């Protein structure tokens, strides 16, 4: 196939480019580098099956030649209020990527009679009142809260995707992505793993907010990409959760990071004002992925962290 990937220079987009090229497909990457990193795709620039366009998905998208699939991964995604590339500091761009960007990408898919895959997120569940989260849970989201620009952009994108499927017959897929980590992550991402792993490698005490009882589940990027590609190849149109079901508290996670890295800095507890309304529980129910896609994660947390450490060391100048 010839596949258009938006957000191709991002953490997930670049790994998808690698995987789909390895599968023998031709990939057209698209990114405006507002949050993507050119270094993530620099190794692909000499590949005859890879081409790249610098473009903002909120503007009309034109791709020369036939496209067989469109994968929309372009969006700011970092929840870090201090990060210039986080969605708190790019609120309008985030809404445009989810709304106008999805509309433009669906237009490309429709014009080419191509399949379409939307990268959605576990954030559409908000601060969930149901645990673990199943795909039929409608969520607990504040539409005017500080995280709404990302949450509601993705919720709108899902609705628009299903509208194109039902009204125009576009062959659509929706993946709801849960916490993912691995090489090419932004070290200033604001999520638990980059924050804690960076501190541990620098020998610093790990910052845990509140008492650390809030939970997450962490999926290694290779497992996630396998799930996404399997969904692309499938015939499933309804949303599918892709993530790791192994849930742990942030305190347990911090202790794991210190153990694996040998960090002697310990842990520092910081009062959690929850000013950004961070969800307190997050774990996917992956029954649908197991049943329909025959997919489940294989990489253990210890193994995944060991695979991620060399990238972080290089970025920190420790390698």
Distance CA 89, CA 65 (A): 36
Question: Measuring CA to CA, how many Å separate 147 from each of 78, 258, 283?
Answer: 10, 30, 19
Of the candidates 87, 150, 181, 220, the residue annotated as catalytic is 150
What ranges in 138-286 are assigned the alpha helix state H? 148-163, 192-201, 221-233, 250-261
What are the two backbone dihedrals, phi and then psi, of residue 316, each rounded to the nearest 5 degrees? Answer: -85, 0
Q: Which two tokens stand for residue 52?
A: 């790249």
Residues 143, 149: Cα–Cα separation, whole Å:
8
Active site residue 125: no
Taking the C-alpha atoms of residue 116 and residue 264, their distance in angstroms, rounded to an integer, is: 47
Residue 185's contacts (CB-CB under 8 Å, 6 or more residues apart) are 11, 193, 194, 308, 311
DSSP labels, 116-162: EEEEEEGGGGBS-SSSSBPTT---B--TTSTTHHHHHHHHHHHHHHH
Residue with tokens 């433009």: 104
d(CA 163, CA 310): 43
Phi, psi at 217, each rounded to 5°: -130, 140
- The answer to whether 304 and 193 have CB atoms below 8 angstroms apart is no
Catalytic residue numbers read 150
């Amino acid at each position: 196939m010839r596949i258009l990937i938006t957000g191709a220079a991002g953490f997930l987009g670049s790994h998808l480019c690698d995987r789909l090229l390895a599968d023998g497909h031709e990939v057209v990457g698209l990114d405006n580098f507002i949050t993507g990193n050119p270094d993530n795709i620099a190794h692909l620039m000499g590949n005859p099956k890879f081409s790249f366009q610098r473009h903002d998905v909120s503007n009309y998208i034109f791709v020369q030649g036939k496209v067989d699939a469109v994968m929309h991964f372009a969006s700011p995604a970092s929840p870090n209020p201090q990060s210039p590339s986080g969605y708190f500091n790019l609120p309008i761009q985030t809404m445009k990527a989810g709304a106008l960007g999805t509309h433009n990408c669906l237009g490309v898919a429709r014009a080419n009679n191509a399949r379409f895959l939307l990268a959605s997120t576990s954030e559409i569940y908000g601060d969930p009142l149901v645990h673990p989260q199943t795909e039929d849970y409608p969520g607990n989201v504040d539409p005017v809260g500080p995280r709404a620009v990302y949450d509601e952009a993705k919720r709108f994108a899902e609705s628009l995707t299903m509208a194109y499927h039902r009204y125009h017959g576009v062959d659509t897929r929706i993946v709801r992505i849960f916490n993912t980590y691995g090489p090419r992550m932004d070290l200033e991402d604001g999520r638990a793993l980059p924050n804690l792993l960076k501190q541990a490698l620098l020998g610093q005490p790990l910052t845990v907010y509140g008492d650390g009882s809030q939970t997450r589940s962490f999926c290694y990027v290779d497992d996630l990409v396998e799930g996404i590609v399997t969904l692309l190849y499938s015939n499933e149109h309804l949303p599918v959760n892709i993530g790791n079901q192994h849930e742990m508290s942030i305190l347990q996670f911090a202790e794991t990071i210190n153990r694996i890295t040998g960090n002697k800095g310990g842990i520092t507890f910081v009062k959690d004002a929850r000013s950004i309304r961070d969800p307190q529980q997050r774990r996917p129910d992956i029954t649908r992925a197991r049943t329909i896609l025959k997919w489940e994660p294989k990489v253990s947390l210890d193994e995944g962290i060991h695979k991620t450490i060399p990238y972080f060391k290089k970025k920190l100048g420790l390698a």
